[in-house]
Amino acid sequence: MRHRVAGNRINMPEARRRAAIRSLIEGLILHESITTTEARAKAVKAEAERIIATALRGHREALAHVREVVGDDSLALQLWDLAGEARFDLDTEVASNEERAAQNKHPLRPEVMQQKQRELADRKARLLKLIKNEDEARAALQAAREGRVIEMRARRNIMKRFNTASGQYVTRKLFDPSFQERFEGREGGYTRIVKLGRRQGDAAPMVAFQLVDYIPIS
């Protein structure tokens, strides 16, 4: 019979323990350094490493999918950004108000319709500037959209571990390009534990639980 007692329980009931772990990981990622007891830091370190690894791996696999089609890192990143602006293709056209009515959508004012048409034409022009051959451009844009789906799966996997509003900020930071660049080429070892001495009162060992590249502001 499974009693669910294995592992470090941080001396709390299960529900409180899960909430404490989430809170510590959120603090670590958002603030990059938190002060806690050594026992708690060691208890959440593996989970924090897994979450960071999931984000990094998800983004890398997504971009790798685009590179398989275009074969160029710079081009892959530009296509990635373009695919993230809106869902479109070279064959896409802005729906007329008659077509929108058939789809039970509200009609657009003429100026709004014209703005949407200009934006779509601009995206198509930028795509063809990157890749002049239309068939190759379609294939590359489709690969970029598929890559974004791969990353979205990783985002959802992480979001399932958090049920708080701050979980959205955690996910956003993990997939931010500047955060991803900081750990490019690193496979594991994303956090560190720095001993600070003992806490007054109960003499519990205290530590700074940090991202490995965290630099304190002096």
CA gap 107, 84 in Å, rounded: 25
Residue 98, judged by CB atoms within 10 A of its CB (0-12, 13-18, 19+), counts as exposed
- Decide: 63 and 148 in contact? Cβ < 8 Å: no
Instruction: Band the pLDDT of 3: cuts 50, 70, 90.
Output: low
pLDDT, position 4 = 57
Question: In a 3-state reduction of DSSP, which class is residue 154?
Answer: helix
- From the list 37, 44, 38, the residue with the least C-alpha distance to 21 is 44
Instruction: Please spell the DSSP secondary structure of 40-96, one letter per residue.
Output: HHHHHHHHHHHHHHHHHHHHHHHHHHHHHHH--HHHHHHHHHHHHH----TT--PPP
Instruction: Band the pLDDT of 218: cuts 50, 70, 90.
Output: low
Question: Domains in the chain, ordered, with CATH?
Answer: 14-211 (3.90.1030.10)
What tens digit of pLDDT does each residue of 50-79 get? 999 999 999 999 999 999 999 889 999 999
Instruction: Band the pLDDT of 18: cuts 50, 70, 90.
Output: confident
pLDDT, position 166 = 80
Q: What is the pTM of this model?
A: 0.84
Instruction: Band the pLDDT of 92: cuts 50, 70, 90.
Output: very high
CA gap 29, 170 in Å, rounded: 6
Instruction: Say yes or no to pLDDT of 42 above 90.
Output: yes
Instruction: Say yes or no to pLDDT of 7 above 60.
Output: no
Encoding tokens for residue 173?
A: 């930071």
